[in-house]
A = this chain, B = another copy of it.
Amino acid sequence: MDRIPDPAVVVLGGRVAWTGRRSLLPPEWVGARTVDGRGCWATPGFVDPHTHLLFGGDRSGEFNRRLHGATYAEIAAEGGGILETVRATRTASVADLASAGEARLAELHLRGVVHVEAKTGYGLDLESESRLLEAYAFLRRAGWSLDVTLLPGHEVAPEFAGDAEANARAIAEDWLPELVRRHPGVAAFCDVFVEKGVFSVDQGRRIFQSGQALGLAPRVHADELGWTGGAELAAELGAASADHLMFCSEAGIASMAAAGVTPVLLPGTTLFLGMRDWAPARRMIEAGCAVALASDFNPGSCPCLDPLLVLRLGCLQLRMTFEEAFTAMTLHPARSLRRRDLGHLHPGARAAILLWDLADPLELVYWLGADFRPEFPLAEEP
């Protein structure tokens, strides 16, 4: 993260054409129409590389049960948890899903998030996953900057209860090809919840390989509630990302670093689930990984649309420096989404520029709980 004193940014046709010290501004730009930054800090917009944006209902009832002592695993075993949201999502209309999604994207955008990765995964059958893709396609047509990830392997579907193997086969052989055929160009990634009691590493591998054959790059829900080898699988597949990683092994870290897999850490989820094991961000950074941070926005384990809380937890509990955490909210997630024009302000970047009226960007973290909102000097439409 470079800091440029007294900077100027030249924007042409919605792209950054030049960035540098104002005193070095090339003569051809002198006299162009200017927007005064008034001494604010200009930064790239945040990129959120892991959300479950679309779902029906909420899970505040289950949350209250957890506060009274029930565990996430107990609730799931009773048919609650993800499956409760699946029921509410299957009965929601595409219009209702898209409308809720738009409100959530607007909230994220107000707080500086200019691009979002968003997963399916609360349908868990072909038709319901297809309707989620329809809603995402609508949101993209409406102008929201989104990357979509297919996640029919978010949980073993109720129709396949007790038979994850058959569910994985249906996803790999039938659902993924059909979803891509029905909605060409909507999804760019594929994800599977690889975890004890959900899908095994072998089942995950088969789903991911099917997705890769369809042009979907893997993003892996890995090592969230215990070690399963999800990070190692992500490295083997050359995945775009491995996400969660609270229980990632040293070998998993080394393999991600060697394979260029982006670890996406979700500290809001650790906080919301009341866990005491935070992802080993420092060890990943020391191993050479380009760590990213994400909200994990979802109704069960992190109903949070606040990028500043994620940034703050990255510094305070994952023990990243401010520069590491800020890069983990901008450049690194953009890279994991194959978006070379986001997460920075170098020439070629999309001009999704934020202005922060602060003496130093570090204050975003330091004034814990302050609801800082950026300005959008170019009033870029979402």
Contact = CB atoms under 8 A, between A and B. Distances in A.
A367 B309 CA distance: 12
Interface in A292-351: 302-306, 308-309, 315-317, 319-322
B369 A268 contact: yes
Interface string A258-282: 0000000000100111101000000
Main secondary structure of the interface of A (DSSP, over half): loop
A178 interface: no
Contact of A272 (B306, B316, B321, B362): B316
A367 B303 contact: yes
Nearest to A323: B67
Contact of A58 (B309, B321, B366): B366
A68 B273 CA distance: 27
A80 B260 CA distance: 40
A320 B371 CA distance: 25
Given A316-B272, A360-B60, A322 B366 contact: no
A63 interface: yes
A236 interface: no
A325 to B, nearest CB: 8
Given A316-B271, A317-B274, A321-B68, A305 B369 contact: yes
Interface of A: 58, 60, 63-64, 67-68, 268, 271-274, 276, 302-306, 308-309, 315-317, 319-322, 360, 362-363, 365-371
